[in-house]
Amino acid sequence: MEDDLEMVCIKNYIFNCQYQATNIQMRPFYILKALLLTSLFISCAENEKRSQNTKERPNIILIMTDDQGWGDTGYNGHPHLKTPNLDDMAAKGVVFNRFYSASAVCSPTRGSVMTGRHPLRYGICTANCGHIKPEEITLGEMVKEVGYTTGHFGKWHLGTLTQDTIEANRGGRPQHHEHYAPPWEHGFDTSFVTESKVPTWDPMVTPDRSAGDVSMALEVGKPFNTSYWTGPGEIVTENLDGDDSRVIMDRVIPFIENASKNKQPFLSIIWFHTPHLPVLTGENYRSPYGDLSEDQQHFYGTLTAMDEQIGRLRNTLEKLGVDENTVLFFTSDNGPEGKSTKGRTQGTTKGLKGRKRSLYEGGIRVPGIMEWPGKIPSGLQVQTPCFTSDYFPTIAQILDIDMNRFNRPFDGVDLLPIVSGAAKKRDKNLAFRFNKQAVLINGDYKIYSKDDGHTFELYNLANDPSESEDLAATYPDILKQMVAEWNQWKVSQEASAAGNDYTKSQP
């Protein structure tokens, strides 16, 4: 029926108003969010009428891995790693040769995906710092208001999932109650999530310490003290053995099948834990790497196991007949964990400088693929720098949602003109700020500071991707212009952090 989407909007609007009203004392800023959602509702039916003569609304899937480096894929020339499904996705989709995570660690990058905004705008400074604020409009909330069903699966890491159960890094501890911000309060109908890391094999069981990053407070073979949650007080206890990526995908597939059966467009966010420490995998995934070290066998094996689940996902989309109406994104949350001579941190930057926690290229340049059969080119290699903050505005554009109504600064841009070849340059440059480091990327040029913007280095990434030659003294005019731009962005970022975005009058 023509009014199906309008009725969905009305129901979602009523639900949001009721929900916010019951939480006014606990979350006072939900009132402002309700106003924003009201604005989105009012234009929802109008958007649908404008779109009735255009293509069907596509399904949207965003996949993110954890600590997978720029060089950690088969399609990017890894000498050992086998990722046949990612390789096929790269061949059939668009590969971003300069794709960046918005930060050098996990939580901030995840916030950028969820909002299209730099994470320091709303207080997510590093891992286990801050939370997704109720004033922010998330991807889940945005697409729900135009008729989508939404699911989040895997690692959440944008706040705690419980105030009652002591677990993970912050969950249940009184000093962290303010950071309670689960996905079911931020626009997601279905959840299967952990607060933070788990082992990549038998995720609920503490592995041998050789897997890496296992607290001495935990007993090997006993619970890992981190749970999968599906809702308030709802901890999953079944089907949690073996490969963690398979455990996650076992929840994703039914969500997609149910949405397809009901002919409802869906947003599925899949945030794998792989290959974050603790890293280990089963013998069947280690065996293809039998000639390598034990640490390499586990590291490469867990990525191959995850790749298998990506293949399973893509096969499911094809089987359901929705593959050509599904936009699929793939990336990592940051570069590889710091490498030691021995250990499971076997990720590679493929020669780029720096690793996780660094804003040099190796810490933030990550794999990036976009696949949309028949809608975007196949086999295209994009050289324009893009990053995780671009997902939100791209999805808004696909769904004909006017982001101006949110009345706040966004750091990302719509990727569609770039992947279509209509644009070679971005409307906005890429700005970064993390742990006293500062970066601005403008085409081939990049400035880097290790003292929060007091002094900067300058690199030409086209000629020097390893950032070995500082050109600051050679091109002072370029340096001056880029530093001025970064400082201007810093003023905007700090104004957001002060709460100014939430006090503006709404349209």
Domains of the chain, by residue range, sit at 55-420, 430-498
Express each pLDDT in 455-471 by its tens digit.
999 999 999 999 999 99
- The whole-number pLDDT of residue 35 equals 55
- The whole-number pLDDT of residue 339 equals 79
- The whole-number pLDDT of residue 34 equals 54
| Range of lowest pLDDT (27-31, 190-194, 293-297, 496-500) | 27-31
Is pLDDT of 51 > 50? no
- The whole-number pLDDT of residue 55 equals 45
SS3 191: strand
**Cα separation of 96 and 366, whole Å?**
9
Query: What is the arrangement of strands in the sheet containing 380-382, beginning at the earlier edge strand?
Result: 234-235, 229-231, 190-194, 149-155, 266-271, 59-65, 326-332, 368-371, 94-96, 380-382
**Cα separation of 494 and 500, whole Å?**
9
Strands (DSSP E) found in 6-127 = 59-65, 94-96, 99-100
Q: Which residues lie below 8 Å from residue 373, measured CB to CB, with a gap of 6+? A: 92, 323, 324
Q: Which residues lie below 8 Å from residue 294, measured CB to CB, with a gap of 6+? A: none
- The whole-number pLDDT of residue 36 equals 57
More confident residue, 386 or 36: 386
Is pLDDT of 4 > 90? no
Express each pLDDT in 223-281 by its tens digit.
999 999 999 999 999 999 999 999 999 999 999 999 999 999 999 999 999 999 999 99
Express each pLDDT in 203-218 by its tens digit.
999 999 999 999 999 9
Is pLDDT of 450 > 80? yes
Is pLDDT of 41 > 90? no
Q: Can you tell me the mean pLDDT for 349-358?
A: 97
Give the residue from 272, 219, 269 showing the smallest Cα distance to 244: 272
Is pLDDT of 129 > 60? yes
- The whole-number pLDDT of residue 13 equals 43
- The whole-number pLDDT of residue 395 equals 98
Q: What are phi and psi for residue 441, nearest 5 degrees?
A: -115, 120
- The whole-number pLDDT of residue 31 equals 52
Tell the CATH topology of 430-498.
Arylsulfatase, C-terminal domain (3.30.1120)
DSSP β-bridge partners for residue 449:
438
Look up the pTM and report it.
0.91
118 contacts 101 by C-beta, under 8 angstroms: no
CATH (one of 3.20.20.120, 2.40.110.10, 1.10.20.10, 3.40.720.10) for 55-420 = 3.40.720.10
Q: Can you tell me the mean pLDDT for 335-361?
A: 91
Is pLDDT of 19 > 90? no
- The whole-number pLDDT of residue 254 equals 98
503 pLDDT band, cuts 50/70/90, is confident
